[in-house]
Amino acid sequence: MILYLDSSSLVKIYIEEDHSDLVREWAGVAEAIATSRVAYPETLSAFARRREQGELEPHALELLQEVLVSDWSNFVLMPVKERKAGALAVQYLLRGFDAIHLAAVADLRAMRPSDLVIFSSFDKRLVQAARAEGIPLLVPNKEILE
């Protein structure tokens, strides 16, 4: 199984949030973890915002960044397909980076038809769009789908 993590899920691997343990468990059993290249700045932005809000010590941001840099080469990194993402953004009224993640996981499934590719996100609209596209999902409970 290849687990595709959008940024909302990827952050949970590094920072303790609701469902962090679950995402870590899913990642631990996956054969590979995939994400879009846009997840790197998105994830660092989430870390920096947490520091700015006082949820992280200044040195914790540096450590998180080092760990992300170290892990980054282990992920299956999907390129940005801007036209496909643009069409998905319009179709499902998604934010730009969410549309990029949806396009990326769809491309990964097309590239690896013999592999089970499962998508993880904690963004309600993105989860609904992925479901409409027929993409298998890992979500903690049905409430995110409603």
Would you identify the CATH topology of the domain 2-139? Rossmann fold (3.40.50)
Cα–Cα distance, 118 to 15 (Å, whole number): 22
Cα–Cα distance, 47 to 56 (Å, whole number): 8
Mean model confidence pLDDT for the chain: 94
3-state secondary structure of 105: helix
Q: Where are the domains of the chain?
A: 2-139
Q: Taking the alpha carbons of 14, 20, 25, 29 in that order, is the dihedral positive or negative? A: negative
pLDDT tens column, 24-62: 999 999 999 999 999 999 999 999 999 999 999 889 999
- Confidence at 12, pLDDT banded by 50, 70, 90: very high
Cα–Cα distance, 57 to 72 (Å, whole number): 23
Task: Read off the pTM.
Answer: 0.93
